[in-house]
Amino acid sequence: MAARTLTLSLAAAAAAAVLAVVGFTPIHSTSRDRIFEIPKGTWSRRMSGDKVEILPDHIRLTLGVRDILVLRNHDDVPQIFGPTLMMPGQSFRLPFERAAEYTFACTAHASGQMTIVVEPNPATPWAKIRWRVTELLGALR
């Protein structure tokens, strides 16, 4: 009974320590870019009937951490990509400075639009934990 209590106490302490570190460690990012790329051959794949989805119709960004949308067209033909027309080999780098929801007309999506939600910089411990968990889950998908 005593051993079980000790184990549970230690587990709770470890969990609390993890939450404390995750919640209080400042978030810095090696890059603020959120990158989406059109691979070479995408146009051919689409023409042959493949349904190629590269850019989601909802994109989440975070101010100060990952707040630059980068689009790159590696295909051999011009492509409507997000809000703009991109030439082969061209990239487009769009920074965001305000937390808000941005809607762009985007003919590449069935809805005809693309939404970019820019969230505030995670300032509180809880916001940092939430951001890190969301990022981790996104990376694992």
Partner 1 sequence: MSYMTRGLMSALTALLLLTSSTGAGAANGTPASLKAGVFDPPRQAPEFSLLASNGGTLSIGNFHGKVVLLAFGFTSCTAVCPTTLNTFAQARRLMGAAAADVQVVYITVDPGRDDTARLQKYLGAFDRTFVGGTGTEQQLAAVRKSYGVSAQKHNAGDSYTYEHSSFTYLIDRAGRIRALMPYGHSPDDYVHDLAILLKE
Kindly list the residues in this chain that would bind partner 1 in the complex (CB under 8 A): 6-7, 10-11, 14-15, 17-18, 21-22, 25-33, 64-65, 68-69, 78, 80, 83-87, 89-95, 97, 102, 104-105, 107, 112, 129, 131-133, 135-136, 139
In angstroms, give the least distance from the CB of 85 to partner 1. Answer: 2
In angstroms, give the least distance from the CB of 17 to partner 1. Answer: 7
Please say whether the beta carbons of 117 and 61 come within 8 A.
yes
Q: Which long-range contacts (CB under 8 A, 24 or more apart) does 71-75 make?
A: 71/35, 71/36, 71/37, 71/38, 72/35, 72/36, 72/37, 72/38, 73/37, 73/38, 74/37, 74/38, 74/39, 74/40, 75/38, 75/39, 75/40, 75/41, 75/42, 75/43
Q: Which residue lies nearer to partner 1 by CB, 41 or 134?
A: 134
In angstroms, give the least distance from the CB of 133 to partner 1. Answer: 7
In angstroms, give the least distance from the CB of 50 to partner 1. Answer: 23
Q: Taking the CA atoms of 130, 132, 135 and 138 in sequence, report the sign of the dihedral they define.
A: negative
Q: Which residue lies nearer to partner 1 by CB, 41 or 83?
A: 83
Q: Which residue lies nearer to partner 1 by CB, 28 or 51?
A: 28
Q: Which residue lies nearer to partner 1 by CB, 21 or 52?
A: 21
